[in-house]
Every structure is written in structure tokens, then in C-alpha cells.
Chains A and B, each alone.
Chain A
Amino acid sequence: MAGKKGAKGLSVQAVVATGIGIAIVFVLKRFLPIPTGVPNTTIDLGEAFLAFLGAIFGPAVGGLTAFFAHLFTDLTWGDPWWSWIIADALFGIVIGYSRNFLKVKQEPLTTAKLVKFNVLQVAANIVCWGVIAPLGDIWIYSQPAGKVFLQGIVATLTNSIAIGVVATLLLIAYGKTQTQNKKLTKE
């Protein structure tokens, strides 16, 4: 159903999922940030929804959604910050690969799968926000290392928490609606 189904390019569903995904992630990033107490850092539920969307529709949808949603959010805050946009897009692609083992649409969710999903998301967060984004800031923008690594580490932590709690809950809720549909078996 999802992802690349047609002969070439994105399937219709992937196009729509990306379009709607961008809109939702944008709204969440823009209107529902939860401050953590540390200045300039928020728990970003947009990333949680992004991880959920990627887990259902795959890497292409995840990557494109992350890229454009981050770009639009940055545009409404001022300057597009390319190093973080690229890091976010990579994160979307990586988390999209969780579709291959989660198989939410075909099989029931197990605890083992959710653990695997969370291991993947934490690893992806560390690589994208803890390494790629700060290095991009240093190389592209010539910002001092101390500041960008602090921001990167905080982003890694808050995103891991947001995704670990909220995306996992969303997946469980979604998994319930899916397995109920599959109770009838074809003879």
C-alpha cells in the first residue's frame, strides 16, 4: 500500500501523506512546543509525529516531510538554517526504514518491535542532532563548537524523549486500529 508502489516515483498515497505530513509537522512545531526549562530548547512533538509518519509510510515520505516541514518552520522564524534542515531530512529517511521491521499495517505490534524502533530512533537522533547538525553549523556557518554541541546534545535528548514517549504511544494506538481490521482471514 504505502511508499513506492507505482512504476516510478512516489505513489499517490506517498504524495498525499507527505503533503499532509508537512502540514501537521509544521503546525505542531509552530504551535505546540513544550519548553523544558533550558532556554531555546523545546520538546518538539513535530518530530514525534514525523517519526510516526515515517514508520508507517517509509523513508521517502519521512525524508521529504522532515525537509519541507523544517524549511517552512524556519522560514516563519526568519532564516532557513540549512545544517539543521539537512540533519532533519536525514533523520526522516533513517526513521523511515523502521517501516520494514515494524510492518504496522500487516502484523500486530509486539514489544520487541517497539524496542527496536526506539533503539533506532535514539541512534538516529544521536547521529543527526549530536553529530551532523553541529558539524554543519561549524563548517557552514563558522559557529563556535561549544555552543553548537550544547544545542545538538539538548536537541538529541529532547527529541529522543518526545519520540520515545509520544511516537511510541501513537504507534500503539495506530496498531490497534490496524489489527482490528485484519481479524478476518481469507480462506
Chain B
Amino acid sequence: MQADPEIKEDSQAKLLWIKRLSGTTKIVILLGLSAIGMVSYDTGYLILLTIFALVFFYAAQLKWRKIRSLVYAIIGFTLLNLVLVYLFSPRYGTEIYGTSHVLLGRGFFALTLEELFYLFNMTLKYIFIVPLILAFLFTTDPSELAAGMNRLKIPYKICYDVELSLRYIPDFIREFRQISLAQQARGLEISQKANVWHRIKGSTQILIPLVFSSLDRIEVTTQAMRLRRFGTQKKRSWYMFRPLTKLDHVLIITTIILIILGILLFQVNGGRFYNPFTS
């Protein structure tokens, strides 16, 4: 999303198939897999989804330095969540799977095989879609995305919201940094050294210029769009609109098959959880 300059930067890679995918296909894959991955706790199925996502990640040929900080943040976030779940309910795995194989320790915090298996599944749920998101994040054009959303019958004004926001995010990041540096140069302390209350006050002093310049921008952009008679028609056409290719169709059908498979697995497993302990 904020990768606009980077997309131009490696324009020699323009011919990657993932960049030729339609925005519609990307939305269908991302939302479809995210929805089914959210509900399913079947280990094998989640691993299958991870492999599917890794195909896209590989195809995007991302540079490690571009995604490094993001990957670290995701790992940290996931670990923290795992620890929280374990601390709050170390017996949750037993509750779900119905058996208890204690590995070590005793009492409330005894580590059971079931809990480990549950946590493993949860980790898979957190991370299976990450490669897919990273791949799409760095290979999707904002206008293409809006055109793709509109094809899915989402009202064009909402698509335009998304396009506008993606257009403005880099601007506001720049503006935010400038205001922040300017305020810090005037002696505002917002680093970790200040306490929470000072940081809120300091942040507000960054927020106020940012908010009021954004309100001005709303006025200016509204006028510009009104002058161009935005929103007077029921439909609009898109400059970045591209017909779906064969590859798009194949991938959409694959996604639908994967979702149906996930739903069938609920029946096979008799619920959302794949249970290796009771057989």
C-alpha cells in the first residue's frame, strides 16, 4: 500500500505474473482465504493454505529489507498472543480436544500436548495469510484495487474511498513526520523518556495541525471532485479496469475449491477442530 514508489523502483519486474493479476482476483483470494482460515482449526488444511499463500509470496520476489520490519513485528505480535493465551488458559487445549497428555509440570500450568497442539494451530491461523498479504501489499496498484472492488459490485463511491485513502496515505505519512520533527525541534518530548500523560499531550500537538490540514484538504478535494461532477451518475468507468485473464479465472476457481474443501472438512471432522487425540 505505501509501496507506491517501490513498485516503480523495480519496474524491471513489471512482467511478474502476480503483478498482472486483476485486483478482483486478489480481493477474492485474500478475503476468501482469510474468512475460511478464520473459522477452520484443521491443521492439515491450514498448512495447505500456507503453502498456497507461499506460492504468491515466492512469485512476488520481495526483497528482504523491504519486509524485514514487518515480519519482525508480526512474529513479536504472534508470540505475545501465544503467551497470553497460555497464561490465561493453559487447559484450553484439553477443554477442546477432551483428553490430557501432560508433558511437564503439574497443577494449573501443566503443559499438555493438547495445549501445544492448540497453540500450534493458532499460530498457523495467525501466520498462514501473512505471505499472501505481503505479496499483494507490494504488488497492487491502488487504482487497480478500486477497479477490482467495483467489479465485485461494491458501490463505486466506497471503492473511491479506498482509492482516495491509498492515494493520501503516503502524503500523510510525510506530513506526519514533518510536523513531528518540527514539534520535536521546538522541544516537545514524545519519546519513551516522557511519561504517558506527556506523550498524550505531545501527540495531541502533532495531531492538531495534521487534523486541521486534513480538514482543509477535504474541502479542497471535495470542490475539485464536484467541479468534475463526481457522483452524479449511477456507474463509473475505471481507467485501470482490465478484463479477467485465464490466470485470474484459474486462481478464483482454485480459491472457491479451497473454500468448499474447508467447509467439507467441518463435516469430516464433526466440527471446526481436527482432533488427533481421540482416534
Contact = CB atoms under 8 A, between A and B. Distances in A.
A17 B218 contact: yes
A146 B89 contact: yes
14 contacts: A15-B230, A17-B218, A19-B162, A20-B165, A20-B217, A22-B162, A26-B169, A27-B169, A49-B207, A69-B165, A78-B133, A142-B41, A165-B204, A170-B207
Interface in B174-199: 176, 196, 199
A100 interface: no
Interface string A157-180: 000001001100110011001000
Contacts, number: 180
A34 B165 CA distance: 23
Most central of A21, A24, A145, A147 by chain B CB within 10 Å: A24
B15 interface: no
Contacts of B85: 143-144, 147
Contact of B203 (A13, A24, A32): A32
Contacts of A28: 207
Contacts of A13: 218, 222
A77 B210 CA distance: 24
Interface residues of B, number: 68
A185 interface: no
A15 B224 CA distance: 13
The 6 closest A-B pairs by CB, nearest first: A19-B164, A22-B165, A144-B89, A23-B168, A146-B88, A147-B88
Interface stretch (B5-13, B56-64, B153-161, B256-264): B153-161
A150 interface: yes
Interface string B114-150: 0000000010011101100100010000000000000
Most buried by B among A11, A23, A76: A23
Contact of B163 (A19, A34, A174): A19
Interface stretch (A35-43, A90-98, A121-129): A35-43
Given A34-B203, A43-B196, A170 B70 contact: no
Nearest to A146: B88
A55 interface: no
A24 B217 CA distance: 12
Interface string B197-221: 0011001101110111011011001
Nearest to A48: B207
A40 B211 contact: no
A16 B164 contact: yes
Given A34-B196, A34-B203, A19 B78 contact: no
Contacts of B129: 78-80
Contact of A147 (B84, B196, B222): B84
- Chain B contact residues: helix, strand, loop or mixed: helix
B48 interface: no
Interface residues of A, number: 61
Nearest to B217: A20
Most buried by A among B133, B200, B231: B231
A12 B225 contact: yes
B203 A78 contact: no
A24 B176 CA distance: 9
A117 interface: no
Interface centre among B80, B85, B130, B169 (most CB of A within 10 A): B169
Contacts of B70: 76-77
B253 interface: no
A114 interface: no
A174 B207 CA distance: 13
Interface string A54-85: 00000000001000110010011111101000
Contact of A173 (B168, B208, B225): B208
Q: Which of A16, A26, A75 has the most CB of B within 10 A?
A: A16
A21 B272 CA distance: 38
B268 interface: no
B127 A9 contact: no
B80 A45 contact: no
